[in-house]
Amino acid sequence: MTAAQRSVAVTGMHRGESPQPGASVVASLRRQFPGLRTVGLSYDPLESSLYGQGDDHPDAAYLIPFPGAGAQALLDRLDMIRQSEDIGHIIPCLDSEIDNFLQLEEPLKERGIRCVLPTRRSFEDRHKASLYGFCLRHGIPSPLTLVAHDPLAVERCAAEAGYPVYVKGWLYHAELVHSREGLVAGYDEIVRAWGWPVVVQEVLVGEEYDVAGVGDGEGGIVQSCSIRKLLRTAHGKGFAGIVVSDPAMDALSEKIIRALRWNGPFELEFIKVPGRPHALMEINPRFPAWIDFPSQIGCNLPALLFERLLGHDVKPPPTCKPGQMFVRHSVDLVGDFADFAAMASSGERIFRPLQKPEQLTP
């Protein structure tokens, strides 16, 4: 089976203020598989990449239920989409949806749809609420991280960690809190959006680094790219970065992935305090939003993942050359409101019609 015979579905298609990885994954796949049909699975009809004109927007897009609706709702919607699209592979790109895809791994296999997913245990070990314990067990430097299930516990945890502290949602969102008086404002919005528990984390001051890669499921890293963040958004997203060569961070990354036996894409977030080893801040179970950057300089990690989905023998791409950098910029995407209205009402938008088998690009 070739890439052209079946489509690959990708989630996380927003490239706005807090960009998601899906559009970068689509652009990376097109670099190596120009004839590949891509399907965007979107939670909101205003996800920005649905209105682009470049290689980062999908050939078709369909609305799917928010992750909170549960795995069965997702499967029902995918069955509806399969009546129009021959989906053979899915690349989930958002933390909040991985749990549903893990629950659906077998039903999707029965439908001929392949995903590369971590095991349940490795997924839970890297969770924000579990990560500090994982790091303690494996001797991995990490900031003190405590879990609170109610307002009084937040106050106790913050006092133990010492102000300032980060207050984080169990999936998304982080607020820097400088004093006891700011705690309620710090966690109130997070709890309203994501519920309890919240995570209270010690603040470390230093340079921030990211490592993006693909794990082989047996403790090895197939390939990775390491960057130092040069600019960050208000949400902490990397807005500019530079490739670095850091043997100490590479060794720590290998130790983490070996302990997790991680399968599939990952992002490791580190902070380097002067005079101290890199400290692990978070492990994200998907590609970062900047993943098309290494693809543009010869290290195409989404294409590597797709080769695994196709069952091919994978040859790792070249490593990224230190000193290469990226910086993001914003553009205005112009469209007709009728396109948004159609997407919002029907839950689907087709940019390129599905070709008949005899028309498919080899």
Q: How many residues appear in the chain?
A: 362
Please report the pLDDT score of residue 274 as a whole number. Answer: 93
Average pLDDT over residues 236-242: 85
Could you tell me if 240 and 326 are in contact, meaning their C-beta atoms sit under 8 angstroms apart? yes
Please report the pLDDT score of residue 5 as a whole number. Answer: 66
Please report the pLDDT score of residue 357 as a whole number. Answer: 45
- Element (H or E) spanning 101, and its range? helix 98-103
Residue 355 pLDDT level (bands cut at 50, 70, 90): low
Please report the pLDDT score of residue 307 as a whole number. Answer: 94
Instruction: Give residue-wise pLDDT tens across range 187-204.
Output: 888 888 888 898 999 999
Please report the pLDDT score of residue 360 as a whole number. Answer: 39
Residue 1 pLDDT level (bands cut at 50, 70, 90): very low
Residue 159 pLDDT level (bands cut at 50, 70, 90): very high
Q: Is the pLDDT of residue 358 over 60?
A: no
Please report the pLDDT score of residue 114 as a whole number. Answer: 96
Average pLDDT over residues 115-135: 94
Average pLDDT over residues 85-97: 95
Q: Which of 42-51, 110-119, 135-144, 332-341 has the lowest mean pLDDT?
A: 332-341
Please report the pLDDT score of residue 336 as a whole number. Answer: 79
* Average per-residue pLDDT for the chain: 90
Residue 110, Cβ density class (10 Å: 0-12 exposed, 13-18 middle, ≥19 buried): exposed
Backbone angles phi, psi at 60, to 5 degrees: -155, 155
Name the nearest CA neighbour of 283 among 220, 211, 231: 211
Q: All domains of the chain, ordered by start, with CATH?
A: 7-115+332-359 (3.40.50.20), 144-202 (3.30.1490.20), 205-327 (3.30.470.20)
Q: d(Cα 113, Cα 309) in Å, to the nearest integer?
A: 10
Angle at 90 between CA 84 and CA 91, to 5 degrees: 140
Please report the pLDDT score of residue 4 as a whole number. Answer: 44
> Which amino acid is it at 161?
A
Residue 323 pLDDT level (bands cut at 50, 70, 90): very high
Average pLDDT over residues 261-265: 97
Q: Which of 50-64, 271-285, 292-306 has the lowest mean pLDDT?
A: 50-64
Please report the pLDDT score of residue 17 as a whole number. Answer: 76
Please report the pLDDT score of residue 46 as a whole number. Answer: 84
Rounded CA Rg of the chain: 20
- Strands 87-91 vs 263-272: parallel, antiparallel or unpaired: unpaired
What is 338-359 written as a DSSP string? HHHHHHHHHSEEESSPPPPGGG
